[in-house]
Structure 1
Amino acid sequence: MRPWQFAPISAFAELAPVWDELNRAMGGLPILESHFLRPALEQFADGRERIFWHGPAGAPDCMCILRPKTGLSWESFQPSQMPLGPFLLQPGANFPGLVAGLLRRLPGLPLGLGLSQQDPSAIPRPQAGGALRTLDYIQTASLPIRGTFEAYWDARGKNLRQNMRKQRKQLAAERIQTRLELISDPGRVGWAVEAYARLEAAGWKLAEGTAVAGDTAQGRFYRAMLERFCSVGRGRIYCYWFDDRLAAMDLCVAGGGGLVILKTSYDESLAKSLSPAFLMREESFRLLFEQGEFDRVEFYGRAMDWHLRWTDQLRTLYHANAYRHSGVALARDWLGRRRARRQGAAALAP
């Protein structure tokens, strides 16, 4: 095997074309593109990150961005705004062998390496064994775009279809005109992110501390990232209006044949009988079916009950943990079983 090499994360801009080429070989997920990663690194990296690649710099078969977690382990660069961990693997490459070699190349002789939030549709989940372990992360939903919208809509649950009809009748009775607007002009991204931030600031996400704000690292990330995608024709910001009132928004990026919904917000001060995000989704999904530009919609967050109203397609994202020696993996297995027994005993205690 060719040796692993690494460089400070400041070298990412130079290596970005090679990174994107390898990502395209995996299917071209937009959330693993340099257009997504460069703004994330600019806002959330702390300087300890390194970019690693295996093989010649011009044609590697594996690349990743890691940082030290403790003196004994390394982990993926994984801010909460990134749905997947930045790990790329040429289809057909030897996952266990490459990761074992990577672990031996990491500075500091660490005992473990954590590769978080991997998508089996891009990198098939490897068989656990030896010094490699995998564990479930979350189930996530996707919506295949095939056939007609009418056939898709008829297959949705009766409650969803009736609820949408009821809400549209209510809006018509109140003489409220709805309008779906699609923003893809990079010059309007700044306004859109500020508008999105105002929606979140007025809702429950502000109380939880997860709301987007324009003057924060998170707000700067979304603006820079969406400007990059819009500048190459692959940014999508959906705005849903009730007359002149902004009722809901979706922030999306496209690539590899799919559309990824990154963030959704809505005006929580509207009547509780209205679901502006659902109304927006019905109209935006109708357009996606009619236009035929994409073959799927990806949600990537944890699958919730409301996702299952729109699709029944689920898959499980996973973490992969590699250890320097199989003995370390076995010790971790034993500690995990012991912890589970203690928790079970505590749950049964009177």
Structure 2
Amino acid sequence: MEWTFLPANEFKQYKKRWNELNQDNQNLAILNTEFIEPLLAYYFSDDALLAIGREQGAINCMLFLRKKAWGRWETIMPSQAPLCLMVTTHNHFTDELLQSLCKALPGVVIQLDFLQLDSKNLTLPNKQQYELSEYIITGNRPVPEIFDDYFKSLGKNLRQNYNKVINRAAKAEQQLDCYKVDTPEDVVQGVKTYAEIEAKSWKADLGTAIEPDNIQGKYYTEMMAKLAQKNQACVWYYTIDQQIVACDLCVIQNHTLIILKTTFDDAYSKSSPALQMKVDMLRYYAEHPQEGIHNIEFFGKAMEWHKRLDSELRPINHLTWYPINFLLAFIKLFKKLNS
């Protein structure tokens, strides 16, 4: 494979091929150019590179890289990106791809890190010159064909707690509702609503909350608007007496809805609005197959409630490739001697 390295801001001219590789392989909204271009604008530094791999003249691999230290390179991983920003034919990590990339990078390369790789349908190299380390366990929940059968299969505590919220609301004459919006205008407003709720949460105290005018707010507003224009974004709300108490920002592609961000109003935590909303979302998509959503992905760290919803769990891994044959064995020996 022959490689070309360009400043990341030249990505625009390769958008068409990037989307083709994504659609032919992982086919995820979070690897669409509408998701990535705002990342480039708000989070990439000047040293970011776009690596383009060609075989017989055809582009078969693209990824974003930066030099981490002498001899060490890594894929660029903004915290807003759930997975490695890389597209390649058949989602294969071949020995030839990795060796040729290390050889083509400027200077000596002793280590190349690929961060946050989805283990789903990932083909690993044949040579044992790599090391896998678990980043997180994540989960997805296929949309059930018959919701009532699915709900009956869930744990007794979850079912009781779900029904308890509904019964308590009925007794208090409160109106519960769960619905989505998906027009570009409503989605942009949804990001603002999300920010207003998160501004009252513990994330605000840490300085990590989305705010309408901070970098995160601008990124999510632009990205969600771009995808909403292609009918690939929506915002889910959970309301109590028409007061929005929980909010999910979601993107869609290939029959898969990805929940990017979840927040809820702490004042209503007794009603577990975020979990109630997830159950109602599953009900909605099960009862509305015309929506075409067959799977819900979380991509964040699997929490207890993911397991309670009977989600399918799998690891997201980091992969470190050592182009020099003996280096991995030396590192393992060094770690063993120092353990």
Q: TM-score, normalised by structure 2?
A: 0.94
Matches within 5 A, 1:169-318: 169-270=167-268, 272-292=269-289, 293-318=292-317
Q: Structure 1 pair 57/248, CA: closer, same or farther in 2 (3 Å)?
A: farther
Q: Structure 1 pair 151/7, CA: closer, same or farther in 2 (3 Å)?
A: same
Shift of 1:177: 0.9
Shift of 1:57: 9.7
Shift of 1:119: 0.7
CA–CA distance in structure 2, aligned partners of residues 163 and 92 of structure 1: 41
State the SS of the aligned residue for 1:116.
strand
Shift of 1:126: 4.0
Show CA shifts across 1:43-71 (max 9, x none): 10011111112116984222111111112
CA–CA distance in structure 2, aligned partners of residues 159 and 308 of structure 1: 13
Matches within 5 A, 1:1-350: 2-55=1-54, 59-91=58-90, 93=92, 95-126=94-125, 129=128, 131-270=129-268, 272-292=269-289, 293-339=292-338, 341=339
Identical counterparts, % of pairs: 30
Output the amino acid matched with 2:281: S
Alpha-carbon contact 1:240-1:246 (below 8 Å) kept: yes
Shift of 1:108: 2.7
CA–CA distance in structure 2, aligned partners of residues 88 and 262 of structure 1: 20
State the SS of the aligned residue for 1:107.
coil
CA–CA distance in structure 2, aligned partners of residues 111 and 73 of structure 1: 6
CA–CA distance in structure 1, aligned partners of residues 167 and 101 of structure 2: 59
6-15 or 325-334, larger mean C-alpha shift: 325-334
State the SS of the aligned residue for 2:283.
helix
State the SS of the aligned residue for 2:326.
helix
Q: TM-score, normalised by structure 1?
A: 0.91
State the SS of the aligned residue for 2:65.
strand
CA–CA distance in structure 2, aligned partners of residues 41 and 57 of structure 1: 29
CA–CA distance in structure 2, aligned partners of residues 236 and 128 of structure 1: 43
CA–CA distance in structure 2, aligned partners of residues 102 and 48 of structure 1: 18
Alpha-carbon contact 2:234-2:250 (below 8 Å) kept: yes
CA–CA distance in structure 2, aligned partners of residues 206 and 123 of structure 1: 37
Output the amino acid matched with 1:239: Y
Show CA shifts across 1:140-173 (max 9, x none): 1111124211111111111111111111111111
Alpha-carbon contact 1:18-1:58 (below 8 Å) kept: no
CA–CA distance in structure 2, aligned partners of residues 50 and 331 of structure 1: 30
Shift of 1:336: 3.0
Q: Structure 1 pair 58/331, CA: closer, same or farther in 2 (3 Å)?
A: same
Q: Calculate the aligned-residue CA RMSD, in Å.
A: 1.8
CA–CA distance in structure 1, aligned partners of residues 56 and 178 of structure 2: 45
CA–CA distance in structure 2, aligned partners of residues 199 and 124 of structure 1: 41
Q: Structure 1 pair 9/159, CA: closer, same or farther in 2 (3 Å)?
A: same
Alpha-carbon contact 1:136-1:318 (below 8 Å) kept: yes
CA–CA distance in structure 2, aligned partners of residues 40 and 181 of structure 1: 28
Output the amino acid matched with 2:305: W
CA–CA distance in structure 2, aligned partners of residues 10 and 115 of structure 1: 21
State the SS of the aligned residue for 1:110.
coil
Structure 2: gaps spanning 5 or more residues: none
Alpha-carbon contact 1:89-1:123 (below 8 Å) kept: no
Q: What count of residue pairs does the alignment treat as equivalent?
A: 337
Show CA shifts across 1:241-299 (max 9, x none): 112311100100011221101110001012x4311112211211111112221221101
Shift of 1:115: 0.4
